[in-house]
Amino acid sequence: MTEAKPAPQPIFRKDYRRPDYTIDRVDLRFELGEETTRVHATLTVRRLDGAPQAAPLVLDGENLRHVSVALGGRELSAGEYVVSPTSLTIPAPGAAFTLATVVEIRPQDNLELSGLYRSSGNFCTQCEAEGFRRITWFLDRPDVMARYSAVVEADKAKYPVLLANGNRVATGDLDGGRHFARWDDPFPKPSYLFALVAGDLRCFPGEFVTRSGRTVRLEIWVEPDNIDRCAHALRSLQASMRWDEDKFGREYDLDIYMIVAVNDFNLGAMENKGLNLFNAKYVLARPDTATDDDYDGIESVIAHEYFHNWTGNRVTCRDWFQLTLKEGLTVFRDRLFSADMGSPAVARIGDVLALRTNQFAEDSGPMAHPIRPESYIEMNNFYTTTVYEKGAEVIGMMRTLLGEAGFRRGMDLYFERHDGQAVTCDDFRAALADANGVDLEQFGRWYSQVGTPVVRARGEYDANTRSYTLTLEQAPPRGRTSAELLHIPVAVGLLGPGGPLPLKLSGETAAGADTRVLELRERSQSFRFEGVPAAPVASLLRGFSAPVELEVERSDADLARLMAADPDAFSRWDAGQELGRRVLLRLAADVEARRPLALDRAFVDACAKIVADPGLDGSLKALALTLPNERLLGQHQPVVAVDALHEAREFAVQALAAALREPLLAIYQSSAPQGPYRIERAEVDRRKLRNLALAYLVTLGEPELVALAVSQFHLADNMTDSEAALACLIDHGGPERDAALAEFHRRWHKDPLVLDKWFALQAASSHPDTLERVTALADHPDFNLLNPNRARSLVGVFGVRNQHQFHRKDGRGHALVADKVLAIDPHNSQLAARLVAAFNPWRRFDPTRQQSMRAQLERIAGQPGLSKAVREIVDRALAPA
């Protein structure tokens, strides 16, 4: 049995100190082998001004077998340095010197997928956040930026392709059937951006001519069988490169840009300089294997990693507390890009739905942290929806306050000031403020506040003066008693009897546009609009202008009116969601009180109007007609009523389907595909609405409606329609489900990404036997705990997305996920730490469920040898609230 490890110690932002030494050059040589890989590193080191002369040089390391160390060309003897499991210390090495180390590592045993590891027989790396220390001794921190060269040596037959960052400057053959490639990266970079790949891969090539006329070679590297699935990724890359030039004036800087698709990857992708490594899921797409949503996901992740070249690589983070500097900003940039490529309203709705479902939950649970955390134990645990998505919202608010041109001025100044540096979130904010001559001091509190602030709104109409006074108030996040006052942009519109009103605030001479951004900086502020002909309905927080919870007294009728007529497409959707939420929460209360259930007539009418509205595209209709999910609904209850919410939502879906049966069937029948699959806006809209109609219709259980799904499943020439039909059949159950699942498995079991869908659809199902099926699937020969995509498809989807089945009262769902966490942790603690987060909301449930979840958390916490990644999550979950 493993010894209990000493309690891991947190690292605090306030303790940041610049290093005593920096590294200007890194020359690496990798002797890749089946058993042992040797890494030779020569570091050109310099003591920084102000550091004590006798400062020791302490390099980080993890899982390295130390072989030798030489200082200034002289091999050191054992007494001249100290090696510990996590460090190599050279006492007082001097002011400027080279340090040459040799270590041995075993990539084939590296299941953490951090550092140098193997996936499907190939060698690859993942160094962010602290993986480079698992490759060689180093100052493994982002404020040490060096120029790198890497010589990669390997067996030529097994690993014909050898890649690293920068430009390939030499290749050649070696003895014993081996060969090498030497890569030089001219741009200084932090160690987390280092990358290496060696394998049997094929190249899907392309090019891009930059606006200054340079031709950049683009290479997408995949396993030979996947070469016909790269076109969309290449197109997305080219579009991203053009967009960053057009919108931010940012040109690519190397002569080559490579993307490698990897099957075993802990995250989505990684922005290593000139050599991105990607989870295959975000590269590979063919109409028959990838859905419309997969196509969108690829476009946005390709863009995200590309945009990091400027926001992250050229300008990087001083320390890991500043992570949102590059992540929040880059998510914000990839969102702008996706909005430009497709429908801005659809994109915004998707982002806000995800933020409310995931980030709001994180912000009110045990892992709540500011977008710039104050401390961490395992940095990898802080690649969170708060740092990324709330971080992007914070950038978005600054753009709202500064305007598009002002934001661009600020970005230009940021790049001008900080190119080639490792900086902080405060540096970013200062560039934005200085470029615009504005004060963003109060705004800066968004970087340190925890939790979702509440904004309360109250409106009063005065018929005598034809004025409408809107009072906005900010309050601390729920469950917290105090918070500093934030600077919050609230976008507002007023809907009069005849439609949107041009807005004129008192003191202004003329009415302007019909959306206005009000700046809330005090506890409470009133804004008086004049020339308002009749009591209006206020449309608040348009476009979700701030990541807050909005509380406002509005009647169902007001919401229905906004849902039907708000000129802002996002607000229309939002009003519909609020109305739907009210209706569902009332139904859940009826379930609990055992009252007869009936779906609100006015809500049905509002939905019928959406179905019939010629002004809405299919994607927006589908979004408007999708009821709030059970997790979102639970956030609005004092204690999540798991079963009642599920029953209420299922009832509402069926009642809506029954009420709208005819128009939905008409939609389904009139929008059949007219030709082969095309990934175009109008076609995506068509498929979205048609598949939504199908989902509603199948819930009615009528044989001829179920038959529609069966026939769509068989006839579809594309994964979007095939998966949608399969999802309906899985929820429906019965022999149709079994037949479709067997057919899908037969057809796709050799295709890992498609097989992931087979697992995920079953794990997400609302069918009452889902837990039993997931339990059985965990023993399926195709299930593999060590592959992150597969583990997430089953355990992640079940634990996070299936509230009703995961939280079954008998506790078996909890036990299942806890078992898997414990099984994964010894191999891949990062993955285990992600999955164990399913238990974070445990205090939101009833005593029985709380007890069951706490028992599982305690069981995990009591496991000897538990990783520090999982330990940090469970300790925080169990700590007194």
Separation of alpha carbons 359 and 351, rounded Å: 11
Nearest to 762 by CA among 772, 753, 749: 772
DSSP-based three-state secondary structure for 473? strand
Nearest to 89 by CA among 62, 67, 56: 56
Report d(CA 29, CA 39) in Å as an integer: 6
Does 194 bind ligand B3K (CB under 6 A)? Our answer is no
Q: What angle (nearest 5°) sits at the alpha carbon of residue 806, between those of residues 803 and 810? A: 125
Which residues between 752 and 781 bind ligand B3K (CB under 6 A)?
A: none
Q: How far is the CB of 331 from Zn ion (least distance, A)?
A: 7
| Residue with smaller CB distance to Zn ion, 279 or 699 | 279
Contact status: 128 vs ligand B3K (CB under 6 A): yes
Residue 604: is it exposed, middle or buried by C-beta count within 10 angstroms (0-12/13-18/19+)?
middle
Closer to ligand B3K at the Cβ: 309 or 840?
Answer: 309
Q: How far apart are CA 269 and CA 257, in angstroms?
A: 15
327 binds ligand B3K (CB under 6 A): yes
**Structure tokens, 49:** 């001004």
- CA–CA dist 848, 859 (Å, integer): 17
| Pick 289 or 330: Cβ nearer Zn ion | 330
305 is catalytic: yes
Q: Whole-number minimum distance, CB 759 to ligand B3K, in Å?
A: 23
What, of ligand B3K, Zn ion, none, does residue 282 touch, CB below 5 to 8 Å by kind?
A: none
The answer to whether 305 contacts ligand B3K (rule: CB under 6 A) is yes
Q: 726 touches which of Zn ion, ligand B3K, none (CB within 5 to 8 A by kind)? A: none
Q: Under the criterion CB under 6 A, does residue 271 sit at the interface with ligand B3K?
A: yes
124 forms part of the interface with ligand B3K (CB under 6 A) = no
Bridging pattern class, strands 96-105 and 87-90: unpaired
CB of 875 to ligand B3K, least distance (A): 20
Q: Does 62 bind ligand B3K (CB under 6 A)?
A: no
Question: Does 270 interact with ligand B3K (rule: CB under 6 A)?
Answer: yes
Q: Tell me the site size for ligand B3K, rule CB under 6 A.
A: 12
Binding at 380: pick from Zn ion, ligand B3K, none (beta carbon under 5-8 Å per type): ligand B3K
Residue 334 beta carbon to Zn ion: minimum distance, rounded to whole angstroms = 8
CA angle 850, 856, 861 (to 5 degrees): 120
Told to check if 828 binds ligand B3K by CB under 6 A, we report no
Nearer to Zn ion, 309 or 787 (CB): 309
Q: Provide the pairing of β-strand 549-552 with 454-462.
A: parallel
CA distance 466 to 535: 9
Shortest distance, position 412 Cβ to Zn ion, whole Å = 21
* Region 311-330 residues binding Zn ion, contact defined as CB under 5 A: 327, 330
137-156 positions binding ligand B3K, by CB under 6 A: none
Whether the Cβ atoms of residue 254 and residue 289 lie closer than 8 Å to each other: no
Among 226, 309, 343, 380, binds ligand B3K (CB under 6 A): 380
Q: What DSSP letter does each residue of 803-845 carry, written as one string?
A: HHHHT-TTSHHHHHHHHHHHHHTTT-HHHHHHHHGGGGGGGGS
Compare residues 275 and 778 and give the one whose CB is closer to ligand B3K: 275
The single residue among 113, 129, 195, 520 that binds ligand B3K, judged by CB under 6 A, is 129
Binding mask 385-414 toward ligand B3K (x if CB under 6 A, else -) reads ------------------------------
CA distance 162 to 199: 7
d(CA 699, CA 716): 20
Q: Compute the least distance from the CB of residue 258 to ligand B3K, in Å.
A: 16
* CA neighbor of 457 nearest in space, from 491, 483, 480, 487: 491
The one catalytic residue among 305, 362, 393, 736 = 305
Pairing relationship of beta strands 524-530 and 87-90 according to DSSP bridges: unpaired
Residue 549 in contact with ligand B3K, rule: CB under 6 A: no
Contact flag: residue 383 with ligand B3K (CB under 6 A): yes
Q: Which residues bind Zn ion (CB under 5 A)?
A: 327, 330
Q: Which residues bind ligand B3K (CB under 6 A)?
A: 128-129, 267, 269-271, 304-305, 308, 327, 380, 383
Please give the positions annotated as active site: 305
